Structure 1
Amino acid sequence: MTRQEFIQLIAPIAVKLRLEGSPIFPSVRIAQAILETGGNVNAWNNLVGYKVGSGQITPYWDGSHVTASTWEVIDGTRLDHVPGDFRAYSSIENGFRDQDLLFQNTRYAPVRAAATPEEQAQALQSSGYATDPDYAGKIISIIQSSNLKQYDEEVTRMLEELQAQIAALQTRVTAIEGLESMKTVPAWAQDAVNAAVAAKLIDTPTGGSYDFYRLLTVLHRKGII
């Protein structure tokens, strides 16, 4: 698999998760996956070097794991062929989603708060995600050499387009005489509304019209939000 083929496989997943509210920039996610795997998909679908750790089961990890050789830097010395137990997943997406759960920990607050890919790469290193002292620099270098910020820009563009569509719909709905806002979110639209709130497309989930909720549901089913 070439690096470009690897990127083309990972990028849509990274973009999708960011649209759904993931704190990780697509550029950082892709670059980290390249750094951790060398640009090859391993058989256990763990592209981010996520070890078993506490072993707590999550909605995306069932406890499966593999033992693989890695290297670590301890007290400034690189140690090769260090065995490590890594989480194994049924899909690449589940691996990324499980990593997002890890990043909800207080320890990774700087990762979530990062305003740029560069800040986020530095935050991954300072939060202790990896022992490599050059971890952040390597991620930033991969982002630059592979032009990965285009995927961050894609997310921004898609969100702007969605916000414009929603604003236009709200304007049309307001213009229709006698059309009253729904006081509660319809059950069939709840998942779509939750996704729109997580992606920061809307601030208030209630008070929309039937057509408004229908549009959100269509966009959600198409995987756009």
Structure 2
Amino acid sequence: MSTQIKNELRRSSWLIALVVVMVATIVSVKLVDKPKASWESYGDEWYSTAYQGDFINEIAGPAQNIHAETQLFPSIIIAQAILESDWGQSELATSANNLFGIKGEHNNQSVIMRTDEYIDGERITIDDQFKKYDNLQQGMEDHLVFLKGASYQPVLSAANYREAALAIQAGGYATDPRYADKLIELIEQFGLNQYDS
């Protein structure tokens, strides 16, 4: 093999190696620059912030429509949906379209689920009957009907989300002694009050 051919093969090999390195560099830069979902903890669970954003966006529109009709703060609706349904992932949410943990029957439909309750400051787990809805919209509409009850009138007339959260707890919505605090924490952590205006 002539020296000229050997030199051309070496040059070709170096050129191929250089192209491979450049392609690998470009691909790795693209992968590094690709936005990644970050992860945050809430309680004992970890959630992708991308998923959290999707869930909030799914609930925000209907919550703002409800606000236009009733003055109920969208941030409260969204925070309750997050807290009560574990970001839409609880069995009650997925099998009964019940994002708000509303007990009882809806159109003769219900499911029995395990739930934590607080009695005399102690947390216990019981089986209870929860409403089952045909779709999420039905569940959101019934949540509004529920909050229009006499016990929750202060929620609808609250001046801000903090007052509304305290009024929900005072009305007996949940037995958790930190329920209002948890709603407020969610609203502030995820900036849900941006949907209130």
Scaled by the length of structure 1, the TM-score of the pair is 0.61
After superposition, what is the alpha-carbon deviation per residue over 1:100-153, rounded to whole angstroms, capped at 9, x for unaligned?
112222211211211111100000001111000000000000000111111112
- 23 and 90 in structure 1: CA distance in 2 versus 1, 3 angstrom threshold: farther
Q: Kindly provide the amino acid, as one letter, of the partner of residue 99 in structure 2.
A: L
Q: What percentage of aligned pairs have identical amino acids?
A: 38
Residue matched to 1:66: 111
Aligned partner of residue 24 in structure 1, secondary structure: coil
Determine which of 87, 94, 98 is the counterpart of 2:142. Answer: 98
Higher relative contact order structure (alpha carbons within 8 Å, sequence separation ≥ 6): 1
SS in 1 for 2:76: helix
Q: 1:22 to 1:90 in 2, by over 3 A?
A: farther
1:51 aligns to what?
A: 103
Rg comparison, structure with higher value:
2
Give the corresponding residue for 1:10: 59
CA distance in 2, matches of 1:113, 1:68: 32
Q: 1:42 maps to what in 2? A: 94
Q: Of the candidates 162, 169, 191, which is equivalent to residue 147 of structure 1?
A: 191
Whichever structure has more helix as a proportion of its residues is: 2
| Among 73, 78, 81, the residue aligned to 1:25 | 73
Equivalent position of 1:192 in the other structure: none
Q: Displacement of 1:17 after TM fit?
A: 1.7
* Residue 42 of structure 1, CA deviation: 2.0
Show structure 2 runs of 5+ residues with no match.
Answer: 1-47
Shift of 1:83: 0.7
How many residue pairs match? The answer is: 144
Q: Shift of the alpha carbon at 1:93?
A: 1.6
Cα RMSD between the aligned structures? 1.4
Q: Displacement, 1:65?
A: 0.9
The aligned counterpart of 1:159 is: none
Q: 1:23: Cα distance to partner?
A: 4.1
| 5+ long unaligned stretches in structure 1 | 56-60, 154-225
